[in-house]
Amino acid sequence: MQSPREESVIKRILSKSSLSRRDFLKMLMISPLINNIYFSDFSIASSRDACYVPLDNRPPNFNYPKRLAEIMGIKLLIPPEGTLSERRKKAASQEILAFLVENWANCAIVSADSMIFGGLVPSRESQMAKSDALWYTRRLLNLKSSNIFDSVYLFKSLMRLMPTVLDDKELFYATKIEEIMKFSVDDIKDPVNFYERELLLTYVPPDILEDYIASRKINYFVDRMLIDGSKKVDLLVLAQDDSADKGVAYEEKTRLSMIATKNTKIVQGSDEIGMLLVTRFGKSDNISVKTTFVPEEVEEEVMPLETVALGKNLLSQTNLLQLKLDDTNPTFYMVVFGKSGYEQATFDKVRSLINDKKNVAFADVSNMNMTNEKMFKLLLSSGLVFRLIAYAGWNTAANTTGTAISQAVSYLSSRNFKENFRFLIERIIYDYYYQNVIRPQINNILIENNQSNFKMTQDSINIAKNIFFQYFPGISEELMMCSPIKFSITDVNFSLPWDRTFESNIEIEIKLA
């Protein structure tokens, strides 16, 4: 017997004036009566198509993977943006599920947070029933057995310590909850720690703490379910951001690691995972990498808000992309700049590699949410930044390295210079000019006018836009003047997708001379 969902899809297909071969096969495969028919002579989906369900509609999750797909020349099918999660709006999970059923492709790359909870923010606030979570999780795990996709990649964020913050009041409670949750089981056996924790509890209303704990429980329940069923998919990625090396989140991750299957990868980060998985699907084989950390000891450092050493986590991203390690003749070099004071040494390394006609990707993890100004100016004034195959320096170290390595692999899989160069310029504008120059200016003016940079009104958004477009002509001129590659920026769009200055969406069009 067919479900109401299956019947509706079949009726919609039959209502078309004519049936394409794919539509006909789709109708047959949906029906459980003939689901076991083997179509040995048919190629149902293009080998270069992927259905991608982002974590939410923020640029790293929505726009950056599209850019990488454009670089690689693959077709990325994404649900309509209106169905995706926003800051305070849940994703339309049922509509997205219908989109997956109706848009066949070689691979499905799906955010479990979007499909089960309605997005990253809702996952941190959800108190959904276990039965609902079970229903969506089972459908995700059964995507491959439905014969709609040849391969399925699922990814989910492990719940971070701090709840989502919208205003100053929420920030106060969230900070206290984060401190409470950093205490490990062993910590509170000590009387001093116990009483410190008890004092923190007095600052948080019981109902807010109960909501947080309920969200953690349902998240952990889903995490375990996904691992238990991970053999049904090709890959399950669990990513953890904004955590600590002890406490509730660390203990949950440790327990999940103990039951992880060979199909499960537990990594650091969050917003870079969609980029990594889209790149994994679209990349060509036989790409190898050699990584250089400057200074060398930064490889062993655990970066802010992370629990895994920088080098170890970059290795996990390399493995996720199925890259080879090659110290003698790699396809590209990954240079990771990790600490102020080493700008000249890093610059000399990059210059030497590029002068030797090597492919170089660059990741600046020296600061949170911005790049090192001295490092960037060295690369800009010399023109070397334009000769990189990838550049990144934003948010956490995992976000930064994941973006840079994804862009490098995407380019080397296609050699699509124009699309890669456009993304490179967008990264430069956002990672340096916006985060280092424009955003601080916007924040200062908003503060002077008693307006929030985290819960913006239309007036404050207009202020931000005006400031950006005041700066942009000078930025454009400086980039074109310093670049050895002659180009012009023919169009630019700027927006603040979550009504906060923390991140912006900057999209450009370029023309190469």
Q: What average pLDDT does range 89-117 have in this prediction?
A: 93
Tens-place pLDDT, residues 468-497: 999 999 999 999 999 999 999 999 999 999
Among 330-339, 377-386, 453-462, which stretch is predicted with the lowest mean pLDDT?
A: 453-462
Question: Residue 301: is it exposed, middle or buried by C-beta count within 10 angstroms (0-12/13-18/19+)?
Answer: middle
Q: Which of 348, 403, 327, 407 is nearest to 371 (CA)?
A: 403
What are φ and ψ of residue 80, in 5° steps? -50, 140
Q: What is the pLDDT of residue 104?
A: 85
C-alpha dihedral sign at 140, 142, 148, 149: positive
Q: Return the HEC string of 405-455.
A: HHHHHHHHCCCCHHHHHHHHHHHHHHHHHHHHHHHHHHHHHHHHCCCCCCC
Residues 6 or more apart whose CB falls under 8 angstroms from that of 408 comprise 289, 332, 334, 359, 361, 389, 390
Q: Is 155 helix (H, G, I), strand (E, B) or coil?
A: strand
Q: Which residues contact 276 (CB under 8 A, 6 or more apart)?
A: 237, 317, 320, 321, 402, 405, 406
Between vectors from CA 208 to CA 207 and to CA 210, what angle results, nearest 5°? 65
Read off the pLDDT band of 164 (50, 70, 90): confident
**Residue 227 to residue 230: CA distance in whole angstroms:** 5
Q: What mean pLDDT value characterizes the chain?
A: 89
pLDDT band for position 5 (cuts 50, 70, 90):
very low
Nearest to 98 by CA among 219, 10, 222, 34: 10
In this structure, what token pair is assigned to residue 58?
A: 């923020």
- Greatest mean pLDDT among 25-34, 41-50, 205-214: 205-214
What band does 130 get if pLDDT is binned at 50, 70 and 90?
A: confident
Where do we find the tokens 């689901």?
Answer: 35
What are the contacts of 135-140 at 24+ separation with CB within 8 A?
Answer: 136/93, 136/97, 137/112, 137/222, 137/225, 137/226, 137/229, 138/229, 139/97, 139/115, 140/110, 140/112, 140/115, 140/116, 140/226, 140/233
Q: What is the pLDDT of residue 371?
A: 95
Q: Is the pLDDT of residue 33 over 50?
A: no
CB atoms near residue 213 (< 10 Å): 13
DSSP secondary structure letters along 54-107: -SSSSHHHHHHHHHHHHHHT-EEE---GGGS--SS----HHHHHHHHHHS-EEE
Query: Average pLDDT in the 93-111 region?
Result: 93
- pLDDT for 166 equals 67
Given a contact cutoff of 8 angstroms between Cβ atoms, the answer to whether 334 and 327 are in contact is no
Least confident interval from 35-49, 190-204, 351-365: 35-49
DSSP 477: H
CB 341 within 8 A of CB 298: no
Bridge partners (DSSP) listed for residue 488: 511
What SS3 class is residue 198?
Answer: helix
pLDDT at position 34, please?
33
What pLDDT is stored for residue 82 in this prediction?
A: 93
Residue 316, classed as helix, strand or coil, is: helix
Prediction pTM value? 0.88
User: Where is average pLDDT lowest: 20-34, 65-79, 278-292?
Assistant: 20-34
Q: Domains of the chain (ranges plus CATH)?
A: 1-44 (no CATH), 46-281 (3.40.50), 283-415 (3.40.50), 431-513 (no CATH)
Over pLDDT 70: what percentage of the chain? 90
